Amino acid sequence: MGYRAVAPDLRGFGDSDAPDSVASYTCFHLVGDLVELINVVAPDEGKVFVVGHDWGVGSYFGLKPGEIEAEFAEIEANYYVTKFQKTGYTGGLNYYRNFDRNWELLAPWAGCEIKTPAKFIVGDKDLVYHMPGMKDYIHKGGFKEDVPLLQEVVVMEGVGHFINMKIPDEITNHIFNFFFCPPSSMS
Is residue 95 within 8 Å of 11, Cβ to Cβ?
A: yes
Q: Is 161 a catalytic residue?
A: yes
Q: Is the pLDDT of residue 100 over 90?
A: no
Give the per-residue pLDDT at 65: 45
Q: Is 96 a catalytic residue?
A: yes
The Cα–Cα gap between 146 and 18 comes to 33
Angle at 11 between CA 6 and CA 14, to 5 degrees: 70
The Cα–Cα gap between 64 and 169 comes to 29
Give Cβ neighbours of residue 106 (< 8 Å, ≥ 6 apart). Answer: 27, 60, 64, 65
Give the per-residue pLDDT at 185: 47
The Cα–Cα gap between 6 and 94 comes to 24
**Active-site residue, selected from the candidate residues 9, 17, 20, 54:** 54
Q: Is the pLDDT of residue 182 over 80?
A: no
Give the per-residue pLDDT at 10: 82
* Closest CA relative to residue 28, chosen from 117, 78, 91, 98: 98
Q: From its phi and psi, is residue 158 left (phi > 0), alpha (psi between -120 and 50) or beta?
A: left
**Active-site residue, selected from the candidate residues 25, 60, 95, 96:** 96
- Of the listed ranges 1-15, 16-30, 63-77, 155-169, the least confidently predicted one is 63-77
pLDDT band at 114 (very low <50, low <70, confident <90, very high): confident
Give the per-residue pLDDT at 139: 96
pLDDT band at 64 (very low <50, low <70, confident <90, very high): low
Q: Is the pLDDT of residue 138 over 90?
A: yes
**Active-site residue, selected from the candidate residues 29, 53, 161, 174:** 161
